[in-house]
């Protein structure tokens, strides 16, 4: 019952704690003590090591840990044609802490550039993943992320007086991105997405209204954009999504179970797999998994937390998988940490040793539940 294609029975979301050498090099670059090429060489070495580390744990995939990124989303979005990074007066408010003051706005017609830097990032990752005999996994933010957080205010009305034209260009941009990554050799692509969780949070919905947006009907719009973006992917390409409730220095943003979006998300979007967070009471119960269609789709159950270092007990994880299997067949389930370990370069509050222990635990439990 192990899987030979993604998502695997033991999987991971994407980001990993940045090694000290990368943090030190980035700090020196900011001070002007080293050149960008020197930082890149250090990133190259650390990515090569971390790919082999993931393989050594028994994982069948490897990411580059998002080591070249500062943010899980802004580094990708800022290089889309028509987008720019800017610095508002406030950062993103998490529970008790605020991020750096960075954001993205749309100032021109959207497009995916042929030389988007993350294409080369993926090619580098694939070279070493192939050597380690694991599948290279690439993570990018979902198209919904470009709209929801800033809403209408951060999309130029001169360029897009009508949001429908924005949504159409957004879908076309991501369809082009999917093809570009496929042509670069990517067979495992993931759209990371905080928005579906925000649509489950009354507080986040109210914030959307206060920004002057109307969140009613967004589920259907986002599903339409996503389905258009991934509609032409070849049969040998797997595209998953990760639904996140916020992950910054071990804190969070949204609360609420998946019930309000589950049918649209699980049955109405054409993803191959869904990484869903189930590491705290804020996620609600497993009942929404009943909307997962019978067939090939897989839900990767995130019952191992990436937010703190204490290691979960195997029996507790197995019990939770049994609970999930009451609502979706066990053969359509898999296991992973609930989120990445460093959605931003600051990272969560745990050690690298604790991070690796969590991923090793996922592999061991998956082998015991689904067989080697």
The neighbour count for residue 281, using CB atoms within 10 Å, is 9
| pLDDT the model gives residue 368 | 98
Judge whether 4 lies within some domain.
no
Query: Could you give the count of Cα atoms lying within 13 Å of 317 in the half-sphere of its Cβ?
Result: 27
Express each pLDDT in 140-193 by its tens digit: 999 999 988 778 889 999 999 999 999 999 999 999 999 999 999 999 999 999
CA pair distance 194, 244, nearest whole angstrom:
5
* Dihedral of alpha carbons 336, 228, 224, 156, sign: positive
Q: Which residues pair with residue 302 across a beta bridge?
A: 277
Residue ranges for the chain with pLDDT beneath 70: 88-101, 246-256, 280, 282-283
**Are 240 and 273 within 8 A, CB to CB?**
yes
**Which ranges of the chain would DSSP assign to H, the alpha helix?**
20-30, 36-56, 74-77, 117-132, 143-148, 163-183, 195-198, 202-210, 218-230, 262, 268, 314-324, 352-370
CA pair distance 26, 101, nearest whole angstrom:
18
Angle between helices 218-230 and 163-183 (to 10 degrees): 30
Judge whether 14 lies within some domain.
no
| pLDDT the model gives residue 126 | 98
- Print the domain residue range for 110: 20-370
Q: What is the mean pLDDT of the chain?
A: 91
Closest CA to 121 of 168, 79, 171: 79
Backbone angles phi, psi at 183, to 5 degrees: -65, -25
Backbone angles phi, psi at 38, to 5 degrees: -70, -40
Judge whether 9 lies within some domain.
no
Q: How many residues does the chain have?
A: 372
Q: Which residues pair with residue 238 across a beta bridge?
A: 188
The neighbour count for residue 40, using CB atoms within 10 Å, is 14
Judge whether 3 lies within some domain.
no
Judge whether 278 lies within some domain.
yes
Express each pLDDT in 231-278 by its tens digit: 999 999 999 999 987 554 444 455 668 999 999 999 999 999 999 999
CA pair distance 90, 95, nearest whole angstrom:
15
| pLDDT the model gives residue 101 | 63
Judge whether 10 lies within some domain.
no
CA pair distance 178, 229, nearest whole angstrom:
7
Can you give the CATH number for the domain in which 175 is found?
Answer: 3.20.20.210
DSSP code of 211? Answer: T
Number of structural domains in the chain: 1
Judge whether 268 lies within some domain.
yes
């Amino acid at each position: 019952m192990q899987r030979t294609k993604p998502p695997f029975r033991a999987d991971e979301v994407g980001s990993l704690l940045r090694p000290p050498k990368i943090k030190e090099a980035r700090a020196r670059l900011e001070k002007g003590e080293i050149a960008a090429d020197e930082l890149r060489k250090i990133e190259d070495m650390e990515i090569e090591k971390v790919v082999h580390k993931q393989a050594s744990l028994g994982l069948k995939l490897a990411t580059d840990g998002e080591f070249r990124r500062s943010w899980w989303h802004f580094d990708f979005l800022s290089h889309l044609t028509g987008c720019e990074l800017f610095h508002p007066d406030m950062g993103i408010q998490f529970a008790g802490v605020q991020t750096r003051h960075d954001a993205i706005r749309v100032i021109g017609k959207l497009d995916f550039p042929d030389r988007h830097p993350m294409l080369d990032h993926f090619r580098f990752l694939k070279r070493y993943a192939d050597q380690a005999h694991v599948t290279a996994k690439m993570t990018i933010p979902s198209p919904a992320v470009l709209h929801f957080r800033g809403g209408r205010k951060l999309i130029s009305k001169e360029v897009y007086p009508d949001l429908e034209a924005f949504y159409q260009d957004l879908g076309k941009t991501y369809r082009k991105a999917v093809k570009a990554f496929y042509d670069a050799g990517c067979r495992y692509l993931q759209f990371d997405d905080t928005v579906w969780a925000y649509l489950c949070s009354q507080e986040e919905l109210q914030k959307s209204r206060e920004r002057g947006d109307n969140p009613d009907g967004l589920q259907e719009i986002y599903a339409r954009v996503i389905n258009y973006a991934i509609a032409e992917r070849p049969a040998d390409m797997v595209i998953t999504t990760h639904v996140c409730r916020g992950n910054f220095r071990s804190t969070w943003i949204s609360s609420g179970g998946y019930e309000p979006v589950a049918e649209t998300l699980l049955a109405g979007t054409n993803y191959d797999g869904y990484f869903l967070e189930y590491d705290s009471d804020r996620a609600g119960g497993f009942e929404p998994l009943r909307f997962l269609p019978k067939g090939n789709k897989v839900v990767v159950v995130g019952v191992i937390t990436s937010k703190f270092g204490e290691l979960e007990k195997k029996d507790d994880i197995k019990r939770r998988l049994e609970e999930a299997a009451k609502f979706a067949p066990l053969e359509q389930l898999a296991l992973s940490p609930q989120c990445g370990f460093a959605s931003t370069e600051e990272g969560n509050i745990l050690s690298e040793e604790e991070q690796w222990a969590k991923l090793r635990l996922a592999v061991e439990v998956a082998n015991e539940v689904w067989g080697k």
